[in-house]
A and B are shown apart, each in its own frame.
Chain A
Amino acid sequence: MDPKLTEVSQLFERFKAAITRKDYDSCTELLSHLKVLLTSFRSLPPLFENTPNSIHELTLARDIYEHAVLLSVKIEDQDAFERDFFQLKPYYTDAGSRLPPSPNEYMILGLNLLRLLVQNRIAEFHTELELLSSTALENPCIKHAVELEQSFMEGAYNRVLSAKQNVPNETYGYFMDLLAKTVRDEIAGCSEKAYDYLSLKDARQMLLYTSDKELLQYIEEEHPEWEIKNGSVFFQKAKESVPCKEIPSLQLINQTLSYARELERIV
């Protein structure tokens, strides 16, 4: 076996061991090292050269990146998730036909959909969705994400929050928490536009909080501009509307007149 490949495999074993130990610091370090090593393989994307070991190398690289994605969820790093996912994606899309399907594929795709939902990147969410096959859509992981999105769009926020209870995979928990916050942000944004003020009770109900304390904490963290007085929340700032711009009538008249003059002069 290719010594480089052996080295990567051994390193990968250590990496997996570290994950099970939950030693995430050494994990990131190992992962970075692994990625550098992977760049020297010419069979990997984007070159996809046909080398004798290419299948093996591709499979290994895919494994590494799948683990990297999962690791990023565990250390709750969304950026790293995005990075790793994009690097993993070619193994699914471009090299998918050459490799045995990965058991984690749908789980990770579903995670990614969830991430997009959390980050409120709906357009990208649908783009990703379109790229999936119909069998993939049947998969519970994917289905979960799709249903969440539908509820989210309908405004059935309570269903979104209750979906947290029946996640298909324990890794989804992290994103579900985040999703709850996204939903609240959405609600808060709508309330701002819809109401001048709300009583604390109504606001609490609206934002799906169980206690006033949570609500106040949320307001303090996310919307310090809201004002709380007389047991009501006032959304003033958002109300400041920009006055209509004045039409530059004089300038327009001048312009039109000069056009007319020019026209008259034209041969």
Chain B
Amino acid sequence: MAATMVSSAGGLLAMLNESHPSLKLHALSNLNSFVDQFWPEISTSVPIIESLYEDEEFDQHQRQLAALLVSKVFYYLGELNDSLSYALGAGSLFDVSDDSDYVHTLLAKAIDEYASIKSKAAELNDEAANVDPRLEAIVERMLDKCITDGKYQQAMGIAIECRRLDKLEEAITRSDNIHGTLSYCINVSHSFVNRREYRREVLRLLVKVYQKLPSPDYLSICQCLMFLDEPEGVVSILEKLLRSENKDDALLAFQVAFDLVENEHQAFLLNVRDHLPVPKSLPSESTESAPAQNESTAAAEDVQMTDGTPASNANVQGTDPKEVIYAERLNKIRGILSGETSIQLTLQFLYSHNKSDLLILKTIKQSVEMRNSVCHSATIYANAIMHAGTTVDTFLRENLDWLSRATNWAKFSATAGVGLPVVAVHTQKGGALYALGLIHANHGEGIKQFLRDSLRSTTVEVIQHGACLGLGLAALGTADEDIYDDIKNVLYTDNAVAGEAAGISMGLLMVGTASEKAGEMLAYAHETQHEKIIRGLALGIALTVYGREEEADTGTANNKAIRQLLHFAVSDVSDDVRRTAVLALGFVLYSEPEQTPRIVSLLSESYNPHVRYGAALAVGISCAGTGLSEAISLLEPLTSDVVDFVRQGALIAMAMVMVQINEANDSRVGTFRRQLEKIILDKHEDTMSKMGAILASGILDAGGRNMTIKLLSKTKHDKITAVVGLAVFSQFCIQNQLLCPPATSAVKLPTAVLSTSAKAKARAKKEAEQKEKVNNEKTDAVGKGKSSSEKEGDSMQVDTPQEKKAEPEPSFELLTNPARVVPAQEKFIRFLEDSRYVPVKSAPSGFVLLRDLRPNEPEVLSLTDAPSSTQSPAGGSTTGQGSASAMAVDEEPQPPAPFEYTS
């Protein structure tokens, strides 16, 4: 006989009204098992069931059953809030481990609820937030379940969301792959934890966990500490590593240093460097002489840092060998921390791989009319950007007379522009000082003093101007009081030109500190009569506050910020505000470039040219270097806009997006290049768009086609320099187009900008594998017989599967080191297996230290041609082994790992 199915819950519902309690219980439990089927019928009787739940006379079990039933009905009705509150009433009957839609939905709801309560409480600093203990119990049950099931990632995610650091710690320590979970956790905390204070708490916890591990991952710890701005922690780690017997530890320390440098937080780096304890037994003069020597030989010193400070070597004969080793290592790490090592490596790489096309420049030069100073300077900038960091000054040398035709401010900026590619050419004094600042941007320990002296000793405003900017750049973010005072003096001379520079410089100096200096600057901005100073100060203040307000905004893709900005963008009456608001969107969104085109696409069709302009640059900034197809499609129509400055902005933005994208990736790049050429050559084109085109072609080839623009470092720290640079740059564009023809005075900004950003670019763009020739030839003075020569990896091979399938290309390719790798390729890079050198950290790009597994074999080093000006004889003498740039490929390459090509 076929099973009879019940067709209605009417009977059971009627039974609820019976007077006998056991009948009610019977009805409840049956209804509970049929609720999935009959919830529409039951929903009409919910009040009755609710009253059962609230009836004090019932026993606990029955009331909970009623609550569970009501909860389920509400769930089916879509009333999740009511459903949750009754589920809480159901107590233990609500089974977390049940695998049903109802339970899943309610769990998610419960966790959301809990997280929002917790974070609200945290925002109000209300410790005693009244969280429903039953809610907490459910969340905890869920967490425990995740942990016991081995779903650590879920558990961590929930714990972070709910601000349950205790649970987070438990999840991490109980996971089977602690290192994996930890790094996952760092990632999560960077990308999903929006509140700064809370992120710090999480990171602090992570550091704590890290330190408890038997084999701590120092690289990650230091990254965390850097974010927390706790130089002491880094220092103690570094010291421990450096003092270690094991040379691998020292290597690790160097790697840590390189990674820290990559994030370009100068103040922090300086702190770390200064806190590194001096070796105990060394005579004090030798330790002092060591850094001094580093400075003085900075130009001459080879990357290999092989000098080993002979002076100290001589001095310390007979002292504790450990201390000697430590002292040497200390010197090296100081070099790295001050950024010199990486700069030099960068320089070497950029110089040797410079592929910029002088012909383009030449064409530009010829097409530009002499009298048009805007285009003239634009050309110079283009050149500067193109050759940023390469020290290639061919173009300038060839066209010195042409350059000299520049007048006044153009001359100033011309010289400044020179600063980018050339180290030694100082022609005009003010510009020269500025150039110095550029060269040393963010690493200018040694140069600061010189700049300050020049600043004090001069009264010529142009020179003051240059020196101020230079100082600001060199001491970026260090918040050095003395320098600040010097600049302030300049400011108080109330001289328009110098004052403006001083204002900006103050901002650069104090960037991200949000100190009370901002108030001081604000007060002066109100007093002064000069518009320029006000502008400079305003920018400076903005920079100062960056990192406070903006820390929360930049790169977080914070929805609230976006909403606010969009609101401004459409509702404000002032063109300026609108434009800036749209522009700011670019900064807010740069961590998620894919989103930007979608968000601003409407704005780019605005009737208001200022908004269009802002939209173009926003896309340019946030999608810089990605070559994102939507971004290009969005910008394309704008490049032929009716308004000239929109065209300019669009061209520049386009160039930013297309940096490092070749024609094979996107055919539009070629079209774009041709378009640029056409605009430049066209006599009737507006000055504004022409300038944009010239700059754009400069950016396209930035850094000898080896640079890109990137605002986030690999470890997801904001790159202060990059952000600031672009901010100032965008500012320039605005002023420039407002001040149209007499743009000369405003134009000096671009270099400021571009130079900072160019430096930033250089860093970000260090995709190129850098070979570390940290050749530590260490001879133990005592001579334990074992001359432990730590020869760090020199050659390494990288195979990059090419991502084109059309031609019968080899499926992989050995890259010589160093080599350019665009971001899209990065994920295909790996080290050859069982090759001789093993990287200390797993990342395939950037500065990587290698460990030599076969120290006894002879080494073949590859040398890159360093720029002649910095080439030192030390280069040859260091190794004594072949200095040819041959690659050490001693084995047949492994078959490439299988990879899937997705177009």
* CB interface residues, B 554-575, toward A, < 8 Å: 569-571
Q: Does B901 contact A (CB under 8 A)?
A: no
Q: B22 near A95 (CB under 8 angstroms)?
A: no
A153 to B724, CA, bound (A): 82
A31 to B10, CA, bound (A): 20
Q: Does A213 contact B (CB under 8 A)?
A: no
Known: A35-B23, A50-B3, A98-B1. Contact between A82 and B607, CB under 8 A? no
Report chain B residues within 8 Å CB of A32: 18-20, 23
Q: Does A45 contact B (CB under 8 A)?
A: yes
Report chain B residues within 8 Å CB of A82: 14
Query: Scoring A residues 90 to 117 as 1 if CB is less than 8 Å from chain B, else 0, what string do you get?
Result: 1001110110000000000000000000
Query: A86's closest neighbor in chain B, by CB?
Result: B14
A87 to B6, CA, bound (A): 12
Q: Does B12 contact A (CB under 8 A)?
A: yes
Known: A98-B1, A267-B607. Contact between A87 and B8, CB under 8 A? no
The 8 Å CB contact of B5, one of A84, A87, A94, is A94
Known: A265-B570, A267-B570, A267-B611. Contact between A86 and B10, CB under 8 A? yes
Q: Does B471 contact A (CB under 8 A)?
A: no
A169 to B721, CA, bound (A): 97
- Please classify how large the interface on chain A is, using the bins under 10, 10 to 19, 20 to 34, 35 or more: 20 to 34
Q: Does B515 contact A (CB under 8 A)?
A: no
Report chain A residues within 8 Å CB of B9: 46
Q: Does A36 contact B (CB under 8 A)?
A: yes
Query: Scoring B residues 587 to 627 as 1 if CB is less than 8 Å from chain A, else 0, what string do you get?
Result: 00000000000000011011110010000000000000000
Which residues of A are at the interface with B, using a C-beta cutoff of 8 A?
Answer: 32, 35-36, 39, 45-48, 50, 79, 82-90, 93-95, 97-98, 262, 265-267
Query: Top 10 nearest A-B pairs by Cβ distance?
Result: A86-B14, A46-B6, A267-B606, A39-B26, A48-B4, A83-B14, A86-B10, A87-B11, A90-B11, A86-B11
Q: Does B34 contact A (CB under 8 A)?
A: yes
Q: Nearest chain A CB to B313's CB is how many angstroms away?
A: 69
- Please classify how large the interface on chain B is, using the bins under 10, 10 to 19, 20 to 34, 35 or more: 20 to 34
Q: Nearest chain A CB to B603's CB is how many angstroms away?
A: 6
Q: B7 near A90 (CB under 8 angstroms)?
A: yes
Q: Does B15 contact A (CB under 8 A)?
A: yes
A86 to B27, CA, bound (A): 13
16 contacts between A and B (CB under 8 A): A32-B18, A32-B23, A39-B22, A46-B6, A46-B30, A47-B6, A48-B4, A48-B5, A50-B3, A84-B14, A90-B8, A90-B11, A94-B5, A94-B6, A262-B571, A267-B608
Report chain A residues within 8 Å CB of B253: none
A59 to B9, CA, bound (A): 20
A235 to B5, CA, bound (A): 53
A85 to B605, CA, bound (A): 69
Report chain A residues within 8 Å CB of B18: 32, 35, 83
A89 to B7, CA, bound (A): 10
* CB interface residues, B 1-56, toward A, < 8 Å: 1, 3-15, 17-20, 22-23, 26, 30, 34
Q: Nearest chain A CB to B484's CB is how many angstroms away?
A: 42
Q: A94 near B4 (CB under 8 angstroms)?
A: yes
Report chain B residues within 8 Å CB of A265: 570-571
Q: B30 near A36 (CB under 8 angstroms)?
A: no
Known: A267-B605, A267-B606. Contact between A87 and B14, CB under 8 A? yes
A36 to B17, CA, bound (A): 14
The 8 Å CB contact of A46, one of B11, B17, B20, B607, is B11
Query: B11's closest neighbor in chain A, by CB?
Result: A87
Q: Nearest chain B CB to A135's CB is how many angstroms away?
A: 20
Q: Nearest chain A CB to B25's CB is how many angstroms away?
A: 9
Q: A79 near B605 (CB under 8 angstroms)?
A: no
Q: Nearest chain A CB to B429's CB is how many angstroms away?
A: 48
Q: B20 near A36 (CB under 8 angstroms)?
A: yes
